[in-house]
């Protein structure tokens, strides 16, 4: 095994002492993922301040045969940024590279270093009357580099797409130490395979993302959030399709069952039921406008929802009268994971997707199948119906106590994953593969993994980029 | 060298006589590109009728070591679909696979075989009240597979993006004979590198595209086309940015100089000057709506252009009063290549892009540089300013006769390409690399080509997929 300390010395000699952290107290918080599920070891954190410094580090790592684990906010859900436990690799932190290089109002693009935190990007765009439309729970810590490398999703994918659709170009240091410069802002470029697109969702296994050019949209002028009572996920989807047939201003569409709403009302302080009626299912719908000339979103939603209520597709509906009420609706949605944990105890959580049109049937059939195979459990899902992406939970129910996850978690995981693959879906909709799902992907899709490995070996023949992740 | 006739026999034995054409009269039109610039040879055309048959052919080709040249409409601008001259490869025609597998109105997606002709796709979408928004001159022959493999562009890229943005998933037979199925309709899928995106623009060098899932948009309800007189490309860009700040309904923005307009008026029967005034530059602007509730596009353009005319950004403007007039405006734009050939004689043509904001300055500086280096020539450009993609032409002028292209064409090409690369641009904006630009790409960007070759070798280790193209 090559010696990571030799790389530490080489980097210190080349880039000076500021580029290297070796105090165990500085390293420890970053050697374990944020939820404390994966524990790694690293004798140092390398923290370059520029693309040139990243290139120097990658070249030195290649010379010394020492693997690098790139890290942004360390908010991976799948152990994607945790170093190997044997201490063979060094953490490469991009957090010092936190400059927004430019915001071009005319072209509606921002160029941001990999270490820029999502929230900072939101604020910077807003100062120019613009918006970076991707947002998610970890926005206070997640970085541009991590969002690119995991093809992050979130709640506004419905209208604006995931990071893959918002990345207009990427700068990265490839494993051979050369810099790929995709920041040139070309709208049309047909010089063969897109290295930009290859780096999106690569989880740091093909090189170190150092910056990205990102699409912006006009800032929100007005928004409105509707809360709907519905009899089923299918009715929710029918509603979404009916809305989309008349407007392109719907940018959020989330569903949850009554029991999840009840859990939030019971366990999350300050939440109130949006409707005074009970329904099997609920949906939250957000519409926005970015100009004063367009129909205000509350009027738009009122106009479009009225005939759906009349026809019985929607059982009941209310529309936020104020921004505070809109926030309160979203607060219920955003607290569902926490509320479910408090209300239902141990549960397996599955970040899965199938084709949007197939999701209502899949949810019903998968829940029935799981409950049959593991009597006493109860299965349900909530989340981004409009993206075909549900966070599917299997709760221990009467079947097990606090150690149920250890006893049966894997068996439940395999069954759910088998059902997802049989439905043509993905076992990772938005969290990535990382360490957590690597073996599962190889079990389920050996052909696919073989092709990914061939690409990985071609660009990173020494296997030094984020070892042990994805492939 | 392996024997292509052995593959012919193997395919005939496996798939029957309908899958193979060996009559030279059948082969000849497809062995040369449509403009007659590249001449190849092939002893047979293989014409599978299903993905399974393509997979069988690829497996047999791999066993026999015979390269395959995939072909759709054979309308490549860069020799991307012409077989090698030594007859070592077989043409694999996708034209028998011409079924539109499904159109999903709710999800606004079509799944089409690789051999579906663009025009047929347009018509099929329209029957469902939908539109496939990409269009280009060769729409009567270009196929879905070719459009995917060349990441095709065209005139509506401004709003809807090139093929890369419209491809929602791809089915392809990879070089090892396995089928990659990306047609599952997942809006979110984070299982590592996107093979779909890798196949877009790969020019058939990584496998055979057999089908694609494509994004559709609502059919056009109304459209209007404005014709503007302007003093410069910079004013044109200022105009575009001013329009885009107020609306997202602009979907075409093309510019041309007065001399190109004059050429069209002189040489293209039935054309008339849209304005009664002369201007250094002209722009064509298209706006559409897809619903009756939106402001009609003619009113929208009138309202947004009026202040620009008042402020002198736009010198003069007229808006099409009828659909026939809108067509007449577009007819001028679409005939520019032909008109320029007739008016100015031999010229080199460069399909180039730079960042949109940089294009006005680039056009002026590059033209000056070329005219200085080659006294007597005149250089100019027209086309997709809103995409940063100009068709830049260098006309022989007083410098040479009919054989000028042969004498100085390459030298002019190299100079223009050097200027494009120095400006951070692309030497192929929308036509691809093919045979024509392969050596030039390797000369200008050896690092990039090394990475492309590594990927190519990883997925196609025997080098049997469209040999001699791109890498």
Residue contact B357–A388, C-beta within 8 A:
no
Phi, psi dihedrals of residue B304, rounded to the nearest 5°: -80, -30
Q: Helix, strand or coil for residue B216?
A: coil
- Give me the residues paired with residue A223 across strands: A288
Of A174, A192, A387, which has the smallest distance from its Cβ to B201's Cβ? A192
Domain membership of residue B442 (yes or no) is no
A107, A191: one domain: yes
Alpha-carbon distance of A350 to A344, in angstroms, equals: 16
A146, A89: one domain: no
pLDDT tens digits for B206-241?
999 999 999 999 999 999 999 999 999 999 999 999
Residue contact A150–B106, C-beta within 8 A:
no
Which residues of B, range 142-171, sit inside 8 Å of A by Cβ?
150-151, 153, 157, 162, 164-165
**Residue where one domain finishes, among candidates A307, A335, A363:** A335
Closest C-alpha to A208, from A117, A146, A120, A140: A146
pLDDT tens digits for B347-396?
999 999 999 999 999 999 999 999 999 999 999 999 999 999 999 999 99
Residues B301, B226: contact at Cβ < 8 Å? yes
Confirm whether the ipTM is greater than 0.85.
yes
Alpha-carbon distance of B129 to B220, in angstroms, equals: 9
Which residues of A, range 26-65, sit inside 8 Å of B by Cβ?
none
pLDDT along chain A (471 residues), means of 10: 93 97 96 92 98 98 98 94 96 98 93 98 97 94 98 92 96 97 93 97 98 96 96 97 90 96 96 97 95 87 97 98 95 93 93 95 97 97 94 94 92 97 95 95 96 98 97 93
Contacts of A452 in chain B (CB under 8 A): 192-193
Residue A85 is given by DSSP the state T
Closest C-alpha to B445, from A193, A411, A49: A193
Residue appearing with tokens 């921004």: A323
Is A189 part of the contact surface with chain B (CB cutoff 8 Å)? yes
Is A390 part of the contact surface with chain B (CB cutoff 8 Å)? no
Is B298 part of the contact surface with chain A (CB cutoff 8 Å)? no
**Chain B residue closest in CA terms to A454:** B458
Alpha-carbon distance of B302 to B224, in angstroms, equals: 10
- Give me the residues paired with residue A109 across strands: A104, A215
- Give me the residues paired with residue B103 across strands: B110
pLDDT tens digits for B435-459?
999 999 999 999 999 999 999 999 9
- Calculate the alpha carbon distances from A396 to A260, A378, B86 in Å: 15, 7, 67
A209, A228: one domain: no
Task: Chain A: give the shortest CA distance to residue B18, in Å.
Answer: 31
Contacts of B452 in chain A (CB under 8 A): 192-193
Helix (H) and strand (E) counts in chain A: 17, 18
Residues B435, B468: contact at Cβ < 8 Å? yes
Q: Domain limits at B395?
A: 345-431
Residue appearing with tokens 């680039």: B362
Task: Chain A: give the shortest CA distance to residue B178, in Å.
Answer: 8
A392, A355: one domain: yes
Q: What is the mean pLDDT of residues B305-313?
A: 98
Is B250 part of the contact surface with chain A (CB cutoff 8 Å)? no
Residues sharing a CB contact under 8 Å with residue A253, sequence separation 6 or more, in sequence order: A158, A236, A240, A283, A284, A285, A286, A384, A385, A386
Closest C-alpha to A162, from A153, A172, A171: A153
Task: Chain B: give the shortest CA distance to residue A348, in Å.
Answer: 19
Q: Helix, strand or coil for residue A107?
A: coil
Residues B286, B280: contact at Cβ < 8 Å? no
Which residues of B, range 339-358, sit inside 8 Å of A by Cβ?
353-358
Give the CATH number of the domain where residue A309 resides. Answer: 3.30.70.2190
A217-218 and A130-131 strand pairing: antiparallel
H helices present in A222-310, as ranges: 233-244, 258-267, 297-310
A419, A321: one domain: no
Q: Helix, strand or coil for residue A392?
A: strand
**Residue where one domain finishes, among candidates A75, A96, A117:** A96
Dihedral over alpha carbons B255, B260, B265, B268 (to 10 degrees)? -100
Is B191 part of the contact surface with chain A (CB cutoff 8 Å)? yes
What string of H, E and C letters represents the secondary structure of B90-142?
EEEECCCCCCEEEEECCCCEEEEECCCEHHHHHHHHHHCCEECCCCCCCCCCC
The tokens describing A108, both together, are: 């509606």
Give the CATH number of the domain where residue B395 resides. Answer: 3.30.70.2740
Give the CATH number of the domain where residue A49 resides. Answer: 3.30.43.10
Domain membership of residue A403 (yes or no) is yes
Q: Which of A102, A166, A187 to mutate to test the interface with B (most CBs of B within 10 A)?
A: A187
CA contacts within 13 A on the Cβ side of A186: 26
Alpha-carbon distance of A342 to B245, in angstroms, equals: 47
Domain membership of residue B436 (yes or no) is no
Q: What is the mean pLDDT of residues B30-50?
A: 95
The greatest distance separating any two alpha carbons of chain B, rounded to the nearest whole angstrom, comes to: 73
Contacts of B203 in chain A (CB under 8 A): 192
Residue contact A153–B431, C-beta within 8 A:
no
Chain-centre distance of CA B143, in angstroms?
11
Residue-level pLDDT at A1: 66
Domain membership of residue B446 (yes or no) is no
B172, B76: one domain: no
Domain count, chain A: 4
Q: H or E element: which one contains B289?
A: strand B281-289
Residue appearing with tokens 């957590």: A436
Residue-level pLDDT at B107: 86
Alpha-carbon distance of B170 to B385, in angstroms, equals: 30
Task: Chain A: give the shortest CA distance to residue B323, in Å.
Answer: 24
Is B243 part of the contact surface with chain A (CB cutoff 8 Å)? no
Q: Cβ atoms within 10 A of the Cβ of B422, count?
A: 11
Residue-level pLDDT at B1: 66
Phi, psi dihedrals of residue A384, rounded to the nearest 5°: -85, 70
- Give me the residues paired with residue B281 across strands: B230, B257
C-alpha triplet A162, A154, B148: angle, nearest 5°: 15
**Chain B residue closest in CA terms to A387:** B187
H helices present in B150-276, as ranges: 157-160, 163-166, 195-199, 233-244, 258-267
Q: What is the mean pLDDT of residues B396-407?
A: 92
Banded model confidence at residue B100, pLDDT cuts 50, 70, 90: very high
Task: Supply the mean pLDDT for chain B.
Answer: 95
* DSSP assignment of A37-83: --B---S-EE--SSHHHHHHHHHHHHHHT--EEEESS---SSSTTPP
- Give me the residues paired with residue A222 across strands: A289
Residues sharing a CB contact under 8 Å with residue A194, sequence separation 6 or more, in sequence order: B164, B197, B198, B200, B201
- Calculate the alpha carbon distances from B58 to A207, B54, B68, B464 in Å: 32, 6, 8, 9
Q: H or E element: which one contains B23?
A: none
Alpha-carbon distance of A184 to A186, in angstroms, equals: 6
A113, A213: one domain: yes
Residue B231 is given by DSSP the state S
Domain membership of residue A184 (yes or no) is yes
Banded model confidence at residue B170, pLDDT cuts 50, 70, 90: very high
Residue-level pLDDT at B292: 72
**b/e burial code for range B367-376 (CB count within 10 A of at least 16 → b):** beebbeebee
Residue contact A184–B459, C-beta within 8 A:
no
- Calculate the alpha carbon distances from B471 to A188, B12, B89, B201 in Å: 19, 31, 17, 12
**Residue where one domain finishes, among candidates A157, A192, A218:** A218
- Calculate the alpha carbon distances from A370 to A141, A255, A351 in Å: 35, 21, 16
Domain membership of residue B246 (yes or no) is yes
Domain membership of residue A436 (yes or no) is no
Task: Chain B: give the shortest CA distance to residue A41, in Å.
Answer: 25
Residue contact B353–A452, C-beta within 8 A:
no
Contacts of B249 in chain A (CB under 8 A): none
Alpha-carbon distance of B150 to B354, in angstroms, equals: 19
B303, B230: one domain: yes
Residue-level pLDDT at A5: 97
A104, A92: one domain: no
Alpha-carbon distance of A188 to B104, in angstroms, equals: 28
Residue contact A164–B448, C-beta within 8 A:
no
B182, B286: one domain: no
Residue contact A106–B188, C-beta within 8 A:
no
A349, A297: one domain: no
Alpha-carbon distance of A242 to B444, in angstroms, equals: 51
Neighbour-count burial of B270, counting CB atoms closer than 10 A to its CB (0-12 exposed, 13-18 middle, 19+ buried): exposed
A190, A206: one domain: yes
Domain membership of residue B461 (yes or no) is no
Q: What is the mean pLDDT of residues B7-29?
A: 97
Is A178 part of the contact surface with chain B (CB cutoff 8 Å)? yes
Q: Helix, strand or coil for residue B54?
A: helix
Residues A313, A238: contact at Cβ < 8 Å? yes
The tokens describing B397, both together, are: 């002028």
Residue-level pLDDT at B91: 98
Which residues of A, range 106-145, sit inside 8 Å of B by Cβ?
106-108
Residue contact B448–A187, C-beta within 8 A:
no
Is A195 part of the contact surface with chain B (CB cutoff 8 Å)? yes
Alpha-carbon distance of A121 to A145, in angstroms, equals: 12
Residues B170, B148: contact at Cβ < 8 Å? yes
The tokens describing A179, both together, are: 């810099």
C-alpha triplet A431, A437, A441: angle, nearest 5°: 110
């Amino acid at each position: 095994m090559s010696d990571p300390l030799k790389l530490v010395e080489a980097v210190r000699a080349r880039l000076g002492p500021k580029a290297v952290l070796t105090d165990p107290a500085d390293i420890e918080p970053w050697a374990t993922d944020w939820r404390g599920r994966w524990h790694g070891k690293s004798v140092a954190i390398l923290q370059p301040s520029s693309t040139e410094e990243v290139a120097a580090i990658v070249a030195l790592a290649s010379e010394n045969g020492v693997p690098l684990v790139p890290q942004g906010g360390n908010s991976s859900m799948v152990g994607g940024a945790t170093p190997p436990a044997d201490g063979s690799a060094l953490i490469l932190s991009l957090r010092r590279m936190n400059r927004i290089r430019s915001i071009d109002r005319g072209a509606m693009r921002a160029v941001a270093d990999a270490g820029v935190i999502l929230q900072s990007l939101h604020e910077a765009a807003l100062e120019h009357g613009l918006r970076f439309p991707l947002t998610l729970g970890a926005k206070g810590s997640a970085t541009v580099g991590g969002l690119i490398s995991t093809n992050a999703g979130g709640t506004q994918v419905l209208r604006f797409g995931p990071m893959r659709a918002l990345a207009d170009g990427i700068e990265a240091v490839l494993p051979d130490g050369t810099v790929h410069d995709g920041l040139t802002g070309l709208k049309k470029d047909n010089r063969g395979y897109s290295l930009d697109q290859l780096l999106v969702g690569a989880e740091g296994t093909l090189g170190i993302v150092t910056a990205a050019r990102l699409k912006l949209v006009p800032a929100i002028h007005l928004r409105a959030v509707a809360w709907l009572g519905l009899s089923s996920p299918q009715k929710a989807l029918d509603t979404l399709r009916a809305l989309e047939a008349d407007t392109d201003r719907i940018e959020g569409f989330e569903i949850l069952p009554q029991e999840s709403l009840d859990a939030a009302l019971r366990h999350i302080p300050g939440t109130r039921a949006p409707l005074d009626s009970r329904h099997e299912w609920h949906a939250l719908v957000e519409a926005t406008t970015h100009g004063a000339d367009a129909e205000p979103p509350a009027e738009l939603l009122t106009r479009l929802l009225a005939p759906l209520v009349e026809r019985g597709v929607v059982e009941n509906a209310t529309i936020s009268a104020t921004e505070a009420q809109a926030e309160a609706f979203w607060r219920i949605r955003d607290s569902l994971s926490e509320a479910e944990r408090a209300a239902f105890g141990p549960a397996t959580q599955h970040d899965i997707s199938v084709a949007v049109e197939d999701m209502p049937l899949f949810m019903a059939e998968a829940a029935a199948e799981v409950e049959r195979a593991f009597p006493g459990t109860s299965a349900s899902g909530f989340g981004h119906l409009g993206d075909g992406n549900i966070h599917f939970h299997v709760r221990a129910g009467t079947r097990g106590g606090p150690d149920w996850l250890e006893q049966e978690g894997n068996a439940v995981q395999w069954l759910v994953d088998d059902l997802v693959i049989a439905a043509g879906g993905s076992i990772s909709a938005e969290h990535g593969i990382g360490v957590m799902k690597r073996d599962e992907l190889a079990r389920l899709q050996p052909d696919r993994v073989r092709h990914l490995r061939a690409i990985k070996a071609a660009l990173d023949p020494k296997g030094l980029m984020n070892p042990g992740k994805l492939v």
